[in-house]
Amino acid sequence: MLDKMKLWKSQPISSNFQERVMRIKKQEVPSHVAIIMDGNGRWAKKRALPRVAGHHEGMKVVRKITKLANELGVKTLTVYAFSTENWKRPKMEVDFLMKLPEEFLGTFLPELVKENVQVKMMGYREKLPAHTLRAVESAINETKNNTGLILNFALNYGSRAEILEAVKHVLNDSNNGIISEKDLNEETFSSYLMTSELADPDLLIRTSGEIRLSNFMLWQLAYSEFWFTDVLWPDFGEEHFVEAIEVYQNRQRRFGGV
């Protein structure tokens, strides 16, 4: 199994980046790319820096990958920014992570507007600090009329909780006669999820060498292509994103067929 996983790791990078970009744009580009941005803490530790330094550096990577994804024609980019399990981390680290959306969106928002990027968020808003929520909702409002790439932040998000919540809503609607059992199918159930307005991801990228989903979009990733790299998120560059898209374009997606 591990030998097969190595096929998904990074391969040597071509020197002519722009030519690779042009080739990608001539083929089918994944409509929705989801990223588990892993390795910020390890990146900082390798440099004898506090973990928060890795998170701050990782924020800069989100900016450049968003711009590149938009240029390539990706329709939706979902980034796993903070999970429902991340509250277990040290308070200082959590507090810093909750301030990052303010800094990121505060500095990047004019560029997002200019680039025609629309900001969305999926996750549980109730537990987020007021200042974090204000920053995110301000960006959502400022970009709501944009028609380009959707930059979707998974913030205080957990897939098992999302699915359980969806089941509860289905049961409630069933009890109230809004939906019947015969009407319930995969498409209908998907409409109860936080991603109801989005297509399922075509491609999942995870950095830092970890090979697991970590409670991320378990329903939505059922038929996604996976691409893993040992590169830590703060070191993840445009050439790595291009490589992931190239690997995706060279795969055959059968969706259970032959």
3-state SS track over 2-23: HHHHHCCCCCCCCCCHHHHHHH
State percent of the chain over pLDDT 70: 92
Domain membership flag for residue 13: no
Task: Look at residue 167 and tell me if it is in a domain.
Answer: no
Q: Residue 97's pLDDT is what?
A: 96
What per-residue confidence (pLDDT) applies to 255? 62
Question: According to the model, what pLDDT value does residue 211 have?
Answer: 97
> pLDDT (tens digit, 9 = 90+) per residue, 121-165?
999 999 999 999 999 999 999 999 999 999 999 999 999 999 999
Query: What is the token pair recorded at 50?
Result: 């506090």
DSSP bridge partners of 122: 154
pLDDT in tens, 63-80: 999 999 999 999 999 999
Mapping DSSP to helix (H, G, I), strand (E, B) and coil, where does residue 98 land?
helix
Q: d(Cα 140, Cα 155) in Å, to the nearest integer?
A: 13
Confidence band for 252, pLDDT divided at 50, 70 and 90 = confident
Question: What is the 8-class DSSP label of residue 232?
Answer: -
In a domain, 12, yes or no: no
9, part of any domain: no
Phi, psi of 99 (to 5 degrees): -90, -20
Do the beta carbons of residue 100 and residue 37 sit within 8 Å? no
Flag whether pLDDT at 15 surpasses 80.
no
Q: Model confidence at 39, in pLDDT bands (50, 70, 90)?
A: very high
Does residue 8 surpass a pLDDT of 70? no
Number of domains composing the chain:
1
Model pLDDT, residue 166: 98
Domain residues for the domain of 140 are 22-158+200-249
CATH number at residue 107: 3.40.1180.10
The yes-or-no verdict on residue 3 having pLDDT over 50 is no
Q: Is residue 3 part of a domain?
A: no
Whether the per-residue pLDDT at 257 is higher than 80: the answer is: no
Q: Is residue 65 part of a domain?
A: yes
- Judged against a pLDDT cut of 80, whether residue 223 lies above it is answered with yes
Q: What is the pLDDT of residue 256?
A: 62
pLDDT in tens, 177-202: 999 999 999 999 999 999 999 999 99
* Mean pLDDT estimate for the chain: 92
- Nearest of 132, 110, 105, 118 to residue 69 by alpha carbon: 118
Determine, yes or no, domain membership for 34.
yes
User: Which amino acid type is present at position 195?
Assistant: T
- Indicate whether 153 belongs to any domain: yes
- The catalytic site residues sit at 38, 86
Q: CA-to-CA distance for 202 and 222, rounded, in angstroms? A: 10
Query: Can you list the pairs that 52-60 forms with residues at least 24 positions away whose Cβ atoms lie under 8 Å?
Result: 52/92, 52/93, 52/96, 54/232, 54/233, 54/234, 55/93, 55/96, 55/97, 55/100, 56/96, 56/100, 57/234, 58/233, 58/234, 59/100, 59/103, 59/104, 60/234
Q: What's the pLDDT score for residue 258?
A: 52
Q: What is the pLDDT of residue 224?
A: 97
In whole angstroms, give the CA distance from residue 54 to residue 96: 11
Give the whole-angstrom CA distance, residue 201 versus residue 198: 9
248 versus 14: the higher-pLDDT residue is 248
Question: Is pLDDT above 70 for 7?
Answer: no
183 burial class (0-12, 13-18, 19+ CB within 10 angstroms)?
exposed
